[in-house]
Structure 1
Amino acid sequence: MTSNCSFEEVDNLMKHLELVIYVPIFLFGLVLNVVALLVFCVFLRKWTESTIYMTNLALMDVFLLIPLPFKMHATNHLWHHDLHPLCSFLESLYFIGIYGSIYTIMCIAMDRWVAIRHPFRAKQLRSPKKALGMCVMVWAVVLAAISPAISGFRNNEQRDFHCFHGFSEKGWSPLVIICLEVFGFLGPALVLVYCSVQTIWTLQESGQHSPRSRACVKIIYSSLCAFLVPFTPSHLAILLQFLVRQGVIEECGMKTRISLFIQIAMSLSNITCCLDALCYYFIAHEVRSSNRSFRLSTISQRRATCSTSEV
């Protein structure tokens, strides 16, 4: 960045704007995700593929929310240089939550695609144990990719610093940004969109208009919303900031606007914790409906058995 290009006005604006964005996201997101965990783990107590993925998504959202108060503090305060390890740990939690959510939403779309597009193979490809295995794999991949990387993206200099800000040049290297954009966003986004479009098309072609079918379509749209709305602007902003870092964009006014855009986009990306509540609601409604249908079918079978035995 050129020395005559000042970002002080952008930084001063974000000191206040981030608080306005983060406080309601943290409060609502924490309540919604804790309630979701209670509903799926305590009240429903039926471990289907959907509830397993939703529980994992809620856990990822909690991991994203935990660092937010520290992120708000770091915006307005310098941290002592001895707190570099704590900062790296919190940054790891934050990015694990983001990319864990991305891959979990992708798994939900793939699971729905298999169930709707390939119903005869679904019994072999889908099961609660396999869903749990996929969630464990998501955790393993994200932990392996994020934790070592984040720890090396900060210069451990003997001076105070702003946590969640000022990554080193290593953190903005072409290899890191390409992997982040391709494997962290574009790849999962293409899988999500493809599976979602194919699933909706299959439901429409089948001519089914049952409540369960409509609930499935709502889940698909809510998953798309929870993915595309928060993560598309933030990854576009990362790409633009990378072009600034590489010297492709040099005009001061453009760099200032990109600096403001990336900070707002990254702040608003945390709204995924609240948007995921749409998925929680529809999944819980679907599970309750399936439980009710199962109970009704069981009662009908018992009545039929009793009527047959009386004849």
Structure 2
Amino acid sequence: MASQHDNMEYNCWHVDDLLERYYLSPFYGVEFCIGFLGNLLVVIGYVFCLPKWSSINVYLFNLAVSDLFFLCTLPRLSYLYANGKSETNPYTCVINRYLLHVNLYSSILFMVWISMDRLLLVMHPSKSHSLLTCRAALVVTGLSWLAVNVQVAPMIAFMIQDHQRGNWSMCKDFASLEADQDTLGYSLGLTLTGYILPLVGICVFSHRITLLLRIREAALQRQKPSYGRPVRVIRAAAVMFLVLYTPYHVMRNVQIVAHTHWPGLSQCSRVLIKALYIVTRPVAFFHSVINPVFYFFMGDQFRGLLLGKLRKLIRMRQTITLSRPPVGIPT
């Protein structure tokens, strides 16, 4: 009986290591391969294909840039997990975690402003509202980046403190830090301000848009509303963040409790909780792969301009190919 218990404890010790090597590593690799191409295409499209920017383009462009920077950190993480190595460079570790969490909370915050922008557009179809200007969007964007950095700054301080305790030799995720300060209180506050409140904002804006469209539809004798698709996209965004972010935030807080506030918990239980937390991490970051879908459906004229540019490039390539003389025939 004791031997069976010992074997169970031994197997529990290796669950998190196996997940990091055979789950995190390939998942991060897939996210990079798909998400990087999609977000890079969006960034290039905005820079070279969009002659005139609107407020929503500013929000979507910043969202794509945030996703792109985050996705660039995944290849190294995938390599380290695949080879069972820990990040030994403290600067790379801090920068990686910083980009990860800034992207996590800037993504949902920018989606709030996108939802707000669509609501204002429904209320002011002529774009007469001051917040529908590019200048206002740039101000909101700047304040958003500032707010997210203020939210993430204490986490970076906790990480540096943990690095100093370990002689700068270990790189841990936030929920596994040995910080002296109250990481649980900070994590709960970050969950509230960085996730729950923005998600409520998206839902409120979506609901408000729906009500306004129903009123307008009734006034126009059930004529099909022109903003029906953005409403569905905003709802899809709310569902996406609810499904992807909720397990991560729940398990992050549970992991912190198990790691620092629950001394009587068995080692096997700690490892299993950490394993569940590991499972939720790449799922939460999968939003960076899905976000390019919103760019094509939400950006004013962006999809048409980008597809038109791609068709033009394909025709130019075909023309150049046809104009070349066959191989072996002198010109």
TM range (shorter): 0.7 to 0.9
Q: Which runs of 5 or more residues in structure 1 are unaligned?
A: 291-311
Cα 1:152–1:255 change in 2 (3 A) is closer
Q: Tell me, what secondary structure is at the counterpart of 1:155?
A: helix
Cα 1:164–1:250 change in 2 (3 A) is closer
Which amino acid is 1:73 matched to? Y
Matches within 5 A, 1:23-172: 23-75=29-81, 76-80=84-88, 83-117=89-123, 123-147=129-153, 149-153=155-159, 154-156=162-164, 157-158=166-167, 160-162=169-171, 164=173, 166-170=176-180
Moved more, 236-245 or 44-53: 236-245
Q: Cα distance, 1:267 vs. partner?
A: 1.4
Counterpart for residue 206 of structure 1: 216
Counterpart for residue 185 of structure 1: 195
Counterpart for residue 309 of structure 1: none
- Higher Cα Rg, which structure: 2
Cα 1:281–1:149 change in 2 (3 A) is same
Which amino acid is 1:241 matched to? Q
Cα 1:113–1:14 change in 2 (3 A) is same
TM-score normalised per structure 1: 0.81
Cα 1:235–1:117 change in 2 (3 A) is farther
8 Å CA contact 1:60–1:98 kept in 2: the answer is no
Give the length in aligned residue pairs: 285
- Hey, what's the Cα distance between the residues in 2 that align with 1:48 and 1:221? 22
Moved more, 251-260 or 22-31: 251-260
Moved more, 280-289 or 43-52: 280-289
Deviations, residues 263-289 of structure 1 (Å, cap 9, x unaligned): 111111111011111211102465567
- Hey, what's the Cα distance between the residues in 2 that align with 1:36 and 1:121? 24
TM-score normalised per structure 2: 0.76
**Of 202, 205, 223, which aligns to 2:237?**
223
Counterpart for residue 305 of structure 1: none
Q: Cα distance, 1:33 vs. partner?
A: 0.3
**Of 232, 236, 250, which aligns to 1:236?**
250
Counterpart for residue 276 of structure 1: 291
Deviations, residues 98-149 of structure 1 (Å, cap 9, x unaligned): 1111211111122223333566996133211111111111111222332453
- Hey, what's the Cα distance between the residues in 2 that align with 1:259 and 1:61? 26
8 Å CA contact 2:296–2:302 kept in 1: the answer is no
- Hey, what's the Cα distance between the residues in 2 that align with 1:172 and 1:74? 29
Q: Tell me, what secondary structure is at the counterpart of 2:286?
A: helix
- Hey, what's the Cα distance between the residues in 2 that align with 1:262 and 1:209? 48
Q: Tell me, what secondary structure is at the counterpart of 2:265?
A: coil
